[in-house]
Amino acid sequence: MLAGVTIDGSLRERKKRQTRQSISDIATRLFLERGYERVTIAEIAAAAGVAKMTVTNYFPRKEDLVLDIAEEFVALLARAVAERPAGEPVRDALRRRYAEAVARREAAVGFAGEPFVRLVEDSPALAARLRELFDLRERALAAQLAAEPATAGDDLTARLVAAQLAGAYRVLFAEAFRLIRAGHDEEQVAGILAEAGARAFDLLATAGD
């Protein structure tokens, strides 16, 4: 409790992770088979062999069963800025980080299987949750920029710059989904996005520093 780090190897922790993973896997399978809105929480619980409330405990909202990378997704840009080498302009750091994410086929920039892409884009609830995540990402970046020496104190400018930069990432994410839906394979998508990313960041004014 005090030493809250009840090591993640404890029986309790392990079982929790197992239960969580099992629920998530079963839910994903059902969603891909039949579509997001046509699977109910009760069905997932039944299929996973747990109580309805257990599903809700692990995933407060149904959308969380699908979009389970929230933390990483939201923090991506703020982290890239915070961890950049001293003296590097913000825009350069984000351009670099984007290229890296594409090279690594990271989900946070839009890499996913076609069925998953369709699942998310065809469901109003999931699309709404994705918008919310983009919004949180932009806010996190704005907070980080406001804490930077260069922008310090000027919150409005920080928010404006964050909107420009996060906006580029968001459009590129949508482009990734579009390409995947159009049937391009991962390698093609990566190639096109690398070039699109370069163009996107060239378009941006040298804002931030």
Partner DNA sequence: AGCATACATGGGTCCGACCTAAAAATAGGC
Partner DNA sequence: GCCTATTTTTAGGTCGGACCCATGTATGCT
- Residue in 160, 170, 173 with CA at minimum distance from that of residue 207: 160
Q: Please state the closest distance from residue 181 (CB atom) to DNA, in A.
A: 24
Pairwise CA distance, residues 195 & 190, whole Å: 9
Q: Using CB distances below 5 to 8 A depending on partner kind, what does residue 46 bind out of DNA, its own copies, none? A: none
Out of 58, 105, 107, 209, the residue judged to bind DNA by CB under 7 A: 58
Compute, in degrees rounded to 10, the torsion defined by CA atoms 190, 193, 194, 195.
130
- Does 181 participate in binding its own copies (rule CB under 8 A)? no
Token pair for 164? 């420009």
Cβ contacts of residue 91 below 8 Å, gap of 6+?
A: 165, 201, 204, 206, 207, 208, 209
The interface with its own copies within residues 149-168 (CB under 8 A) comprises 156-157, 159-161, 163-164, 167-168
- Does 24 participate in binding DNA (rule CB under 7 A)? no
Confirm if 180 and 190 have CB atoms less than 8 A apart: no
Q: Using CB distances below 5 to 8 A depending on partner kind, what does residue 63 bind out of DNA, its own copies, none? A: DNA
Q: Please state the closest distance from residue 117 (CB atom) to DNA, in A.
A: 21
- Write the binding mask 110 to 139 for its own copies: x where contact by CB under 8 A, - elsewhere: ------------------x--xx--x----
**C-alpha angle 150/81/97, rounded to 5°?**
140
Q: Please state the closest distance from residue 52 (CB atom) to DNA, in A.
A: 6
Amino acid identity of 28? T
- Does 175 participate in binding its own copies (rule CB under 8 A)? yes
Out of 28, 47, 54, 136, the residue judged to bind DNA by CB under 7 A: 54
Q: Using CB distances below 5 to 8 A depending on partner kind, what does residue 86 bind out of DNA, its own copies, none? A: none
DSSP H helices in the chain = 11-34, 41-48, 52-58, 70-82, 90-103, 114-121, 124-146, 155-181, 186-203
Out of 28, 32, 47, 50, the residue judged to bind DNA by CB under 7 A: 50
- Residues lying near its own copies in the complex (CB under 8 A) are found at 128, 131-132, 135, 156-157, 159-161, 163-164, 167-168, 170-171, 174-175, 196, 199-200, 203-205, 207
